[in-house]
Amino acid sequence: MVTVVRGIAIVEAVLLLLFALAVVFAAAQIFTNALENLGERMGVSEGVTGSIFAAVGTAMPETIVPIVAIVAGGASMEVNHAVGLGAILGAPFMLGTLSLGLMGLFAAQKYGWHVALSPESTGIRRDARFFLIGFGLAALVAFLPVAWHGARLGASAILIVAYFLYLMTTIKASSALVADGHGTEADNDLYLARWLGNSLIVALLQLTAGLVLLIAGAKMFVAGAESLSEMIGVAALLVSLLIVPVATELPEKVNSILWIRRRRDTLAFGNITGAMVFQGTVIPAIGMLLLPWHIDDTHAIVSIVLALGGMAWLNFLLRSQRLSPLWLLGNVLLYVLFIVHLVI
pLDDT in tens, 173-198: 887 777 777 677 777 788 888 888 88
Q: Report the domain count for the chain.
A: 1
Q: Backbone phi, then psi, for 45, in 5-degree steps?
A: -75, 165
Is residue 229 one of the residues assigned to a domain?
no
DSSP lists the bridge partners of residue 183 as 45
**How many whole angstroms separate alpha carbon 287 and alpha carbon 293?**
7
Is residue 256 one of the residues assigned to a domain?
yes
Q: Backbone phi, then psi, for 183, in 5-degree steps?
A: -75, 155
In 10 A of CB 167, how many CB atoms?
16
pLDDT bucket at 232, cuts 50 / 70 / 90: low
Is residue 204 one of the residues assigned to a domain?
no
Is residue 258 one of the residues assigned to a domain?
yes
Is residue 28 one of the residues assigned to a domain?
no
* pTM of the complete model beyond 0.85: no
Angle at 279 between CA 277 and CA 284, to 5 degrees: 120
Which CATH number goes with the domain that contains 249? 1.20.1420.30
Task: Calculate mean pLDDT across residues 236-244.
Answer: 59
**62 CB-near residues (< 8 Å, 6+ apart):** 87, 91, 245, 248, 249, 279, 283
Range of the structural domain that residue 251 is part of: 47-183+234-343
Name the 3-class secondary structure at 115.
Answer: coil
Evaluated on CA atoms 314, 330, 273, 107, the torsion sign reads positive
pLDDT at 116 over 90: yes
87-91, 125-129, 319-323: least confident range: 87-91
